[in-house]
Each structure stands twice: as C-alpha cells, then as structure tokens.
Amino acid sequence: MKREAFTKLCHHVSLQGDTGLSKKILPVVQAYRTKQQCKKLPVIWIETNCSGDNNIAFMNTADPYVGEVFKAIIDLLYSNTFMAAQGKDALKLLNEAAKRYKHQFTLVVEGAIPIKDNGIYNVIARTENYRLTALEAVKWLGPLAKYVVALGTCGSFGGATAGRPNITGSVGVRDVLEREVINVSGCPVNPDWFVGTLSHLLMYGKPELDDLGRPVLFYGYTVHKHCQRRSYFDNGDFAKKLGDSECMFSQGCMGPRTGADCPYRQWINHVSWPVKVNTPCIGCTNEDFPDGSSPFFVPLPEKAKKRETKKRMNNGEGDEA
C-alpha cells in the first residue's frame, strides 16, 4: 500500500465511523513485511513521570487485541511495564538492546521528565549500586534512537505532571532532547493514534507533523470541526447545563482549539467519546493542558479571565471579585 492510500485509510476509518484502525492496519503491515522481507519495528518503551494511563489505553486496543499488535507490528525490546524481567536482568536487556539496535530502534517515552534537582524525582531503575533517572535514560537513549515518540500529553508537552505548581520541574521529552520528537498526545492517548503512528514509521518513515510535532493523520483537524453537535454551535444553540443535548461550548468545551479526531475516531472499542456522553471536550491533546483548559466547565472566553484573577491573587495583587 502506498503512503497516500495509508493516509486515506486512517481518515476513512475516522470520518466514516468505521471499525477500529488497528483492525484495518494489521493486514497492511503484514503484507508489507512479507513483500519487503522486513522485521517488526524495534521499540524501547520507557515509562517515566505519569499515571501509566497510556499503556492501559494501549492495552484496550480491540479487534484485534493488543497481543496481535505486538505480534504483527512491534518488536518490544524493553518495557518496564510489559516485560517480565526485573532489576539487573531488565537493565542488562536495556543495555544490550540499545547497543544492538543503535539508530534502528524507536524510543517510546510515556510520561514527563522531571529536571529539577538533576531529575531525582523519577527513578526508573535501581539496583544495589546503580540508579537511573528518567532524565538520564532519555538523554542516553534519545540520541541512539532512529525515532523518538512521546506517548501521551505528559510525554509530549509536560501535561498534568507539569501542571501548576510543577514542583518537580517536569517537562515534555522535546525539552530535554536536541532532536525531533514525534508527539502522540492525549490524556490518555487513543490506541489508534499510537498504533497508526508506529505502523507509519515501520512502512513509510516519519509521518507529516503539525506545528506541535503531532502526526497530521490524527491531529490535523479540531474536535470542533467534526463534532456531531457543530450545527448547534453554528445556530447559537448552547447547553444551559451539563447533560443538555445542545452545543457544550457554554459548558467549557475546548473543541474549537483542540486538534484531534475524537468525534469520529471515538474511544475504547470505538463506541463513545466525551461529548457523546454529555461532557465537554477538555482539550487533553493540547500543548497547554491542563492549565490552559482550567477552570473546567467554564466557557473559553471566561477561562483566561479567571486564570488571570487567580494569578493576581497568588501574587498578592488584590482580592478575588
């Protein structure tokens, strides 16, 4: 399959509300690997400062299940979540993989990177006489990787981990590496976005990226553009409270400034998404999430005013109105 056809496949599944992208992609990848006589995509996956929600979301890949994705697409060389090895054995595997697959593997980083106090606030490996922080691991593995993928909004931009007051000095992967990082943001990430990005890397190399380093395949349009309630917005028909069926812009929906295909991609088993169950989009793929989305359930024009008022109060510049 040519790259253009792959792009159309991703968009078709999204816009037509078809079954999951992984189901469509796996036969394509298998045919490509058979024709090209190539191996799976070698991946080193490290989890840093986050809640682990992205690997849980990835495990919710359905029809096919996550095991089939590993079997067809990903050669998982190391993962502190999925691997059985622990301690020294795990570190030995990590070192061997980094050396053997130098400039061939894709580094997947899930979570933000604490940089305050030399990164001491997130240690991803420890033995009797050795300690490896997330900061050290990313700086070590990043230059050795062929591609670097930041998985989730924390890994991409800092996300909730870097939200005010950010006492650990957490930042996105892009802020600690002097190289290009592919940001697959989301809190958590939709498994289709991750599987689709890795499949593109395997077959065609780096996908087209937007100005935030995210694959245009999945982040090229705003949630607002394809929202099923867009006609309500155009007619000025806004919900008066949470749970109403009209446009939720009045309830703090961030859709107009959030790049993602959630309205048609949908979530777990592709059956729903926030607006469908009467809650606003909170802009979880955005560079400034969550601070830029708060306070939640407050219309966009009022969010900035409230944040500025709170900032002035924190600086002792006046009383809250």
Given a contact cutoff of 8 angstroms between Cβ atoms, the answer to whether 29 and 199 are in contact is yes
Query: 10 Å Cβ neighbour count for 36?
Result: 10
- 127, with CB counted inside 10 A (0-12, 13-18, 19+), is exposed
Report the pLDDT value the prediction gives residue 103, as an integer from 0 to 100.
97
More confident residue, 15 or 298: 298
Q: How confident is the model at residue 10 (pLDDT cuts 50, 70, 90)?
A: confident
Which residues are registered as beta bridge partners of 151? 110, 184
Angle in degrees, 0-180, between the axes of helices 21-36 and 3-15, rounded to the nearest 10: 170
Report the pLDDT value the prediction gives residue 314, as an integer from 0 to 100.
60
Residue 276 half-sphere exposure toward CB, CA atoms < 13 A: 11
Q: Please work out, in degrees rounded to the nearest 5, the angle formed at the alpha carbon of residue 277 by the alpha carbons of 214 and 54.
A: 35
16 has a pLDDT exceeding 90:
no
Report the pLDDT value the prediction gives residue 17, as an integer from 0 to 100.
54
Contact residues for 128 (Cβ-Cβ < 8 A; gap 6+): none
Residues 237 and 247: their CA atoms lie apart, in Å, by 6
Q: Which CATH class is domain 3-219?
A: alpha beta
Q: What is the bridge-based pairing of β-strands 170-171 and 113-114?
A: antiparallel
Report the pLDDT value the prediction gives residue 207, as an integer from 0 to 100.
96
Q: Where in the chain is the domain with CATH 4.10.480.10?
A: 223-314
Q: Please write the tens of the pLDDT for every residue from 224-281.
A: 999 999 999 999 999 999 999 999 999 999 999 999 999 988 887 778 899 999 999 9
Q: Please write the tens of the pLDDT for every residue from 149-187.
A: 999 999 999 999 999 999 999 999 999 999 999 999 999
| pTM, two decimal places | 0.91
Residues 204 and 192: their CA atoms lie apart, in Å, by 17
User: What is the rounded average pLDDT of the residues 191-202?
Assistant: 94
> What is the homologous superfamily of the domain 223-314 according to CATH?
Cytochrome-c3 hydrogenase, C-terminal domain (4.10.480.10)
Q: How confident is the model at residue 317 (pLDDT cuts 50, 70, 90)?
A: low
Q: Please write the tens of the pLDDT for every residue from 72-89.
A: 999 999 998 899 998 899
Closest CA to 150 of 159, 169, 295: 159
Complete DSSP assignment for 18-34: -S-HHHHHHHHHHHHHH
User: What is the rounded average pLDDT of the residues 212-233?
Assistant: 95
According to the per-residue pLDDT averaged within each range, which of 57-66, 127-136, 167-176, 290-299 is highest? 167-176
Given a contact cutoff of 8 angstroms between Cβ atoms, the answer to whether 22 and 63 are in contact is yes
Closest CA to 50 of 212, 163, 160: 160
Q: Where in the chain is the domain with CATH 3.40.50.700?
A: 3-219
Percent of the chain with pLDDT over 70: 91
Given a contact cutoff of 8 angstroms between Cβ atoms, the answer to whether 28 and 1 are in contact is yes
